[in-house]
Structures are given as structure tokens and as C-alpha cells.
Amino acid sequence: MKNIVKFMLPLLMLFCLITSCEKDTSIEQEMPTLSTEITEEMIPATSRATTLDNTVIVLSAPSIYNDYYQSVFQDIVDYQVNFVNLASGSNHVIILVDADTKSYYDGRVPASNLLVATIEDIWIRDFSPVIPSLQAKFNYLPDYQTRRTANLIDNSFERWFKQSGLSYGKTSKLILDGGNVVDNGSDRIIVTDRFLYDNPGYTKLAAVKVLKKLTGARQVAIIPEFPGDATGHSDGMLMFSTANKILLHEMPRRLQRRTIKELETAFPGIEIVVVPDYYKDEEWQGFSSACNIFVNSLVTDQYIYMPTFNAGYDAEYLQLVKANTDKTVIPVPAENVCFMGGSVRCLSWQVKGANARRLIELTN
């Protein structure tokens, strides 16, 4: 779903050459013992929720210096500004933006929604920690990126993360994009078998065991990846609408049967609802479009931010998702970004607990 970054600041290039890109092997570092609740007093009045949700949502702005996004720069900015406004009654949203790009957001969103940071890509889901309450960080080294580009992106995030006083709950050298981890918010996660391809030393059984250990999940499903998807991500295939219900994007019959079998085996008693396939088959810069992939929704404790695409199916899907969840569903127009290969979930990082509190402190 993602890009190959073409612009690299000379200073960052030099840093990457002289700095080791390796991470500690499977370090299991516990989060500091701090209060995990976000109180209403911590969040600016403009961002307080009617029903407070403890998830902070983080977006990464495109840089004015990044040539790759130059033609779509304003579309991405407009999408992110609109997202902040849509979420203002539900979750606190923070946009990470470099100092020279910040003026494109100033006056359009409150200052409490902006945090100056230099992050080298917009698809923050993939290189940020997974599991909002744990923040487990895996190695970002996908085969659809060059090692140099992946390290540039990952190192920019790692430097900012550590300099900001944030902490990982677990870290691992295993390769796994955040877009390939779909969780139910409590005890279940889903990845595709791209994880086995990226980490060839692991059998399926061993992979399930190590993923349980690193994510705190009680149950793990490893489903077949969708053919032709360069990223191999699970979040373009399905979503949890409740802790025990999955919305599965309709797919070719044989693949669908294999996927459902794996899900039902891994999650006894799971309810699976197959939702219609209205996928718009296009490519941009070598990546498949995410347009009309409604399951690429961002799911928090109380809300579902569902992408809409202005293609004639939005109302149908909105009613379908509402009928299959007890959460509030918030439509998010994504038609001007989805063609790049991702939408609402791909463009976000979810944070809870001590890290969420720290992020809010940094914006105040």
C-alpha cells in the first residue's frame, strides 16, 4: 500500500550511514508504571469527546520537501485536517508535522492537534508500534521497500519516539508491518502469511507462539494474503467490528473458504460477516488502490472511523457496518487519498496508556 520515498535530506542520509539500523533481539521491555487513563482535563476543550475514548490517534503529515507526494500534497493535508475535525467529538487526534510544513495546518486545526516532528512517511500505521495498549514495535523492513528507504523511514520515527520520552511495551527484530496486524482490542490478532515469508525461520505454529508472546494476544490467526497485494496486509481484507465479530471483504471463493476456515479455527465462536466487494482495481506508483475497501477502518473502543469513497456504495456500507457493531460509526471521506494504496487505518497510529498521556502533554 505504500511508497518508495524519493526525497532524502542529506543530513538524514548521513545519519543513516553512520548509525546502526539494527534493533535489540526480541527485547521485552515493560511500559513504565503510570496511570493509563486519559482524563478530560488533559485534553483541550476543543477536542473533548462527548463520550471520552482513551485512544489517541496520530497522523503523519507529508513534508513539503518530499517529492514523492508533491502532486497529492494538498489532498493529503486536506484529508488530515478533515479527519481532525470529524474526530473532535470522539478521539483526540495529533498530526506530526515538520516545522517547515506546519504552516499548511496552522489556523485549520487547533494548535493542540499539532506536534512538530520530522517523520519520513505518511503511512504511519506500518512503522509504528502495534496494539494500542501495549505498543509493541516490530522491525519495519518490508520487501516492497528498499532497505535504505525502510531504514530512513523507521529511523526517523524511532528518533522522534525516543526523544519524546515515549516507551515501547515490547520490541522485536521480527519483520512485521503494522498494517498486517488487525486486533480486536483485547485478545485476538490477525496477520497474513506474509509474516512467514518475511521471517522464513518460523513455522506457522512457532509464529503463532511468538506473536502471542510479543503482542499479548490469547489467540492468533494467520490467514492467506490476498494475491497481487504488494504489501500482504490483513487490514485491507477484514476488520473487527466487535471483539467477537469480523467483517470480511468478499474475495475469490477458494481464498475466502481458506480464510474463513483459519479464522474459525483460531477464534472458536467467532462471527464472520462477508461484506460485498466493490473494489476499484487501479494502481498508483506500483501499489494497488484501496478505494472501496471499507474494511480499512480505524476501530477504537467506542468508535469506527469508516472510509467513504463517493462511488455510490457509501450509504449501503454505512448501514451495514452500523448493523454489525455496538460502536458509533463515523464516515471519513477518503476518495482523494485511497488511490495511493491506503486510507483511514493505513494513515493512522493508535496509542493508549502512558504514551497517549505523554503525547497530549507534548501538545499542551
Q: Is the dihedral of CA 247, 180, 346, 96 positive or negative?
A: positive
pLDDT at 69 over 80: yes
pLDDT of residue 281: 84
For the CA atoms of 242, 244, 249, 251, what is the dihedral angle to 10 degrees? 180
Mean per-residue pLDDT, 90-109: 98
* C-alpha cell at position 91: 478521539
pLDDT of residue 114: 98
Burial of 288 (0-12, 13-18, 19+ CB in 10 A): buried
Count the Cβ atoms, other than its own, within 10 Å of residue 12: 15
- DSSP code, position 191: E
pLDDT of residue 324: 98
What is the length of the chain?
Answer: 364
Query: In the block, which residue shows the cell 528507504?
Result: 149
Residue 192: what are its φ and ψ, rounded to 5°? -95, 170
Residue 259 parent element (H or E): helix 253-266
pLDDT of residue 52: 58
**DSSP H helical ranges for 66-218:** 73-87, 124-127, 147-163, 194-198, 204-215
Q: What is the pLDDT of residues 230-260, one digit of tens each?
A: 999 999 999 999 999 999 999 999 999 999 9
Return the closest-CA partner of residue 309 out of 334, 290, 289: 334
pLDDT of residue 328: 97
pLDDT at 5 over 60: no
The CATH architecture that domain 187-342 belongs to is 5-stranded Propeller (3.75)
pTM (predicted TM-score): 0.87
Q: What is the pLDDT of residues 188-228, one digit of tens each?
A: 999 999 999 999 999 999 999 999 999 999 999 999 999 98
Gap between the Cα atoms of 337 and 178, Å rounded: 19
Task: Indicate where the chain has its CATH 3.75.10.10 domain(s).
Answer: 187-342
3-state secondary structure of 22: coil
pLDDT at 50 over 80: no
pLDDT at 36 over 50: no
Return the closest-CA partner of residue 142 out of 197, 75, 92: 197
pLDDT at 51 over 60: no
* C-alpha cell at position 254: 477458494
